[in-house]
Structure 1
């Protein structure tokens, strides 16, 4: 989260992408690096080394990335002249991640580039591979002294970081033995999104909000990340994961920490990460009975979306026909500290829901004394602050105002800060922000070891309860719905309902 955009950095940089032929590189990483190149945010001397088991020449690898960038870059199709300047920086190395010879060859390639540049480069090792490869790659990077200079080398680890608390601790312990914490970048792309970063600006750069940001004025908070898509071809992976691991443990808890954290004393990475960890430590751990009362799980059945029949989760490729894996999760969390005591934080996420959207809604308490006659307030609604992360990027404040006319009639109006309406500059993709931060050595938007473990520790009682007792109601919601009915009951018991923004959504 750089304080100033650095243009054309001096120090040469090498991106080593393990899993270079994979989907993540094609869809996200290569387009992000290309856009950073166009923004002149890369040094004059840089290289991208993609590794994979497929036999490809440099030219064939460049062609595959070219197709990915044309399809997935926010800028659309590449300019021929720009591409010709960029593609010469791309290299491919056939590599078997389990063989030591591959790492020896990688070292030789890195040294060769540095010799050409006559300067030591900073090297970013990006592990865009399945989690079971994380330990073997990390060990080999260390063993072959590919990251000896801790100031000039970084290792980027994609989620999922561990499968539970025990495996996360093991992975943290291994990485801690091999590297310094300042070299380890545990990436959560959600934190790179512009609106997410704006939560801190909104809270801590405006004196009007912070005095209200507590249990005295806020009634409850909702964090909702919903998807229209099903699991698609990720059924095999999802079977071992589920909504709680896939979304709540990282994305949703990260958003919750940003909303709930105490004011940091400065904008330093460690100070901000300390405040986020404080939130996770203050969150109430559930007993088995509390899991039953405060959580809901669901699994989608078949249904219709835009006139097309879609299969239920158990009929997806790679999924057990009697699967107990949840594709929907809703949890009512509490933060036991002075600021938030007693205020519920509701989070929900799910697949095959009615809308693809990510929103945070803060509902303020009602006015303490109602002075208006009942007939003036047919559409009365408490004040809300709605932060929309996708598909639109906006922050809206919902207030009561008088409707024009001779009579006193109140209705809800929106004060909206809309990115598209306010700025002509296109917002960067999350991966552009996060890769640039990695180059800058700025870990503000990345998770620290203790933060990952605290998040797992919080969720373990829920995971144990769900895994030890099969759900007899699965599938319990149809495609294109808002999830299981019991999710409505979870929030309705407290007199609230789930909020949705009217969004025209075709995803």
Structure 2
């Protein structure tokens, strides 16, 4: 088990808001190895005491762990001011006589290449590991380039490409529903399913993330990674074994079946839009272009919709639509499996019959199935069967950190999986950049644009 974490970018928001609260959860549950240590590093001229005070404030705000656990976690911390792009600094940070170490890159993507190059000269061992936050590259070429660096220069340690959507909670919800219930997998195909929608729609606006979001937009922020991974869980075949290699193999194969979007269908299959001034409940929202930190010249979308086709017999003719947006009237994050209508001879005789829809929550742990039951006087009534799974004990980051400490890559993105996601998205981003799909608008708190007829 890995016994030490070196946290590059330790002075950033990710460390104090998500990573250290996740560590505190694991500490409270007694799941950290004895003597676990965390070495923080960044270009901040901090002392260890400065770092501890910074993290203590973050834990007080973001952690539900007990005061004694938070104090114990703070006691695990040390700090070294470091130029993380320099091999000498990285080598000094890692040390020679050390336990197995997880090097966590909580850094902007622009630093990934120089930091990985510096790590390559620091003699990481096979029993060490490197964690890389999303986004992994900003297009297919850059993702391939990063993979080449990892394969050629860092062949020894385990590489964890992180997408917190692939926490064990979401994976288990979809996988258990499909493969542990005989009622679903036999109808999981184009014969019975008409379409699939995967949505992450938010009433939130930028919430202080303009620096990152305005350079990414809805397509790169959510669709290319998070929703693409949810798509793979829907598309994939049952793995031959429940192990990391088998599970990651079927995810990659699933994405390989997705047809590359073509220029001819781009205006029909994609939507890009951004919000204008409006109100969400009692909250007044300015136009996106007037939000602090936004550069209107970037022409960044706050809503993205992408409809994909799958070149595989199981899913022939079934459209898969991935949608993400901000400043909408309400939150909606789910996978919606829409089944085909019944034959006309039944629907003609039973007024009120509607196609079944299976909904799987992405954020909330629910499963809902609309079901047709008999109504009065030979009519039909639609009722929803609703089940809520037991809430997870840990946050997504706590699950993922625990998997990394055990050196288990099952819930992490493989290099070829990252490339397949970019292979699908690249043509869309190029078409949008060329102006082939016009930017539409929607008022904050209102519905986004409908797809072209």
Q: TM-score, normalising length from structure 1?
A: 0.85
Distance 1:480 1:252, change over 3 A: same
- 1:300-311 equivalences in 2 (<5 Å): 300-311=275-286
Q: 2: distance between equivalents of 1:327 and 1:64? A: 32
The answer for the alignment partner of 2:102 in structure 1 is 124
RMSD: 2.0
- Answer yes or no: is 1:382 the counterpart of 2:348: no
**Paired residue for 1:483, among 427, 448, 453?**
448
1:39-88 C-alpha deviation (Å, 9 max, x unpaired): 11111121011112223332332222122122223xx2x42332333322
Shift of 1:265: 1.0
The answer for the alignment partner of 1:65 in structure 2 is 55
Shift of 1:217: 0.7
Q: 1: distance between equivalents of 2:351 and 2:142? A: 54
Distance 1:101 1:372, change over 3 A: closer
Is the 8 Å Cα contact of residues 296 and 331 (structure 1) preserved in structure 2? Answer: yes
- Answer yes or no: is 1:216 the counterpart of 2:191: yes
- 1:270-349 equivalences in 2 (<5 Å): 270-349=245-324
The answer for the alignment partner of 1:433 in structure 2 is 399
**Paired residue for 1:104, among 72, 91, 103?**
91
Q: 2: distance between equivalents of 1:156 and 1:29? A: 12
- Answer yes or no: is 1:82 the counterpart of 2:69: yes
Q: 1:176 is paired with a residue of what secondary structure? A: helix
**Paired residue for 1:94, among 75, 81, 106?**
81
- Answer yes or no: is 1:464 the counterpart of 2:430: yes
Is the 8 Å Cα contact of residues 398 and 412 (structure 1) preserved in structure 2? Answer: yes
**Paired residue for 1:412, among 372, 382, 385?**
382
Shift of 1:143: 0.8
Is the 8 Å Cα contact of residues 2 and 102 (structure 2) preserved in structure 1? Answer: no
Q: 1: distance between equivalents of 2:205 and 2:347? A: 47
**Paired residue for 1:139, among 108, 112, 117?**
117
1:127-148 C-alpha deviation (Å, 9 max, x unpaired): 0010111112212222121x1x
Is the 8 Å Cα contact of residues 258 and 311 (structure 2) preserved in structure 1? Answer: yes
Is the 8 Å Cα contact of residues 14 and 123 (structure 1) preserved in structure 2? Answer: yes
Structure 2: 5+ residue stretches without partners: none
Is the 8 Å Cα contact of residues 27 and 69 (structure 2) preserved in structure 1? Answer: no
**Paired residue for 1:447, among 407, 413, 427?**
413
- 1:348-367 equivalences in 2 (<5 Å): 348-367=323-342
- 1:136-215 equivalences in 2 (<5 Å): 136-145=114-123, 147=124, 149-150=125-126, 152-180=127-155, 183-192=158-167, 194-215=169-190
Is the 8 Å Cα contact of residues 333 and 344 (structure 1) preserved in structure 2? Answer: yes
Structure 1: 5+ residue stretches without partners: 1-10, 115-120, 494-507
Is the 8 Å Cα contact of residues 301 and 312 (structure 1) preserved in structure 2? Answer: yes
Q: How many residues align?
A: 453
